[in-house]
Amino acid sequence: MSIFKAAAIQMRSGTEPRRNAADMEAMVREAAAKGATYVQTPEMTGALVRDKDARATAFTTEEKDVVVATAARLASELGIYLHIGSTAILRTDGKLANRALLFGPDGKLLASYDKIHMFDVDLDNGESWRESAAYEAGASATIADLDIARLGFAVCYDLRFPQLFRAEALAGADVLTVPAAFTRQTGEAHWHILLRARAIENGAFVVAAAQGGKHEDGRETYGHSLIVDPWGRIIAEADHDEPGVVIAEIDTALSAQARKKIPNLKNAREFAVNHVARLKPALRRAAS
């Protein structure tokens, strides 16, 4: 069990990775100066780019990526765990991954996770997204054992798939992470509810750094970066969509306490689903 300060960095990433990396650095330094030893940035920290040709210019491999290099340097210099919530990474097969990366206090890459669930949706008012047209989905969950906590990874739309978080909690994760770029429309409706639900269901802290505001590529994101405790209480929030830093103290003993009070992870049972077909009632014969 351990106690540490966690920070969620809220950004408004534009289309230029170097400028976004500089904005990220300033806020990571602010978080570290306030005592945070685990710092999380939002989904697509490096850039938010809708245009296909512009994506090809903006994104590159891990070895050449400016956000990756900046994060490794900052983690080492500040002696923190720095979690890039995600950034677009060019894979060896030429496809893009929506990839989270965690760097340790020595600057080395400790873990990575490729977003599993692609945001392919058609919303109200003509808002439509096809993430699978640009990115290749991941195929496995990731757990990272740190000296401060056991971390479970997710990215944005993964939030709507509770089985991912349940699997990570069953594997011992006491801090679940949900860096995101929730749209304004879906964020206003579901963001707080879903994050609190994942915390309650799994008796775990949830740290969710978000993108916020009107971006250069035209999209609008909801902001409201949150840190939620294992009882579902919001213990830190950016109550707006402006860039900024929120910090909260995390005591992993509270996760163990919540799971002892309500041991639903242990009490879960396997079950079958019985499908009872609806039978058409027999027609009554008319009296003769």
What's the confidence (pLDDT) of residue 277?
A: 86
List pLDDT tens digits, range 215-261.
Answer: 998 899 999 999 999 999 999 999 999 999 999 999 999 999 999 99
Number of domains comprising the chain? 1
280 located within any domain: no
Query: What is the set of active-site residues?
Result: 43, 115, 156
Segment holding 200, helix H or strand E: helix 184-202
What's the confidence (pLDDT) of residue 55?
A: 78
CATH number at residue 142: 3.60.110.10
What's the confidence (pLDDT) of residue 169?
A: 98
Segment holding 261, helix H or strand E: helix 253-261
List pLDDT tens digits, range 80-114.
Answer: 999 999 999 999 998 999 999 999 999 999 999 99
131 located within any domain: yes
228: nearest Cα among 206, 253, 246: 206
212 located within any domain: yes
134 located within any domain: yes
278 located within any domain: no
283 located within any domain: no
List pLDDT tens digits, range 5-57.
Answer: 999 999 999 999 999 999 999 999 999 999 999 999 999 999 998 877 777 77
Q: If you average pLDDT over residues 131-136, what whole number do you get?
A: 89
Please enumerate in sequence order all residues whose Cβ is within 8 A of that of 51, keeping only pairs 6 or more positions apart, or say none.
Answer: 217
Domain that holds residue 117: 3-267
272 located within any domain: no
286 located within any domain: no
61: nearest Cα among 14, 20, 96: 96
